[in-house]
Amino acid sequence: MKILVCISHVPDTTSKINFTDNNTKFDTNGVQFVINPNDEFGLTRAMWFKEKQGATVDVINVGGPETEPTLRKALAIGADTAIRVNTPAADGFQVAKELAKVAGDGGYDLIIAGRESIDYNGGMVPGMLAAMLKANFVNTCINLEVEGNEAKAVREIDGGKENVTASLPLVIGAQKGLVEEKDLRIPNMRGIMQARQKPLNVVEPANAEAQTAAEKFEKPAPRGNVKLIDPDNLDELINLLHNEAKVI
């Protein structure tokens, strides 16, 4: 089985976020970037298929040279080959189009993408990629087994779970639950050293055009002042909740 895992290069959730050029551009200064968490769940599941069923695993990213450390981390975790499409990620449609070009030429059986990235939270790429490839698609996937040409998946739905079967080729939108958090892998020294020798191929883009553009960013409003009430002063707490906060 040949697997392609789509990797987004996203800011660490602990990073302090700022914007430049009148709040129209994201300021990357001092920001640490990581593998998108939803993609990391997918990559870990791909490693399971590699170890249990002998699958080959490629990872791919749409982005500039600054994303290569993230791809190298994926290689250190155990992926065989990395591919970087040499163009900045502009929007979901453009990213899906660039991924579809590589995936279509690569003859992949299974394509794993995170259901959304934690920076823009668009949640568009996996579905559009499946449509462009005319492949089956399972979103919000929390379990996946593959035997021969058939996949059995479990996806999260409102109020429950749904069991589905699909034939390959298949695109899934991975998320927390596809593997347990305790099973996520931290690259060891041997993996890091091996990653330096693994191929990281840079391919030129298909020049897909973005369909959307961010006009301006705005930070959430700062938290208001907090009043601390003595735990024994319940009358004052009730008074403030009733007359000031007006929540009771």
Q: Read off the pLDDT of residues 119-158 as tens digits, 9 standing for 90 and up.
A: 888 899 999 999 999 999 999 999 999 999 999 999 999 9
Could you tell me the residue ranges of all domains in the chain?
A: 2-220
Q: Read off the pLDDT of residues 79-115 as tens digits, 9 standing for 90 and up.
A: 999 999 999 999 999 999 999 999 999 999 999 999 9
| Model pLDDT, residue 71 | 97
Given 3-state DSSP classes, what are the helix, strand and coil percentages for the chain, each rounded to the nearest 5? 30, 30, 40
**Token pair of 224 as six digits:** 């208001």
pTM above 0.85, yes or no: yes
CATH topology of domain 2-220: Rossmann fold (3.40.50)
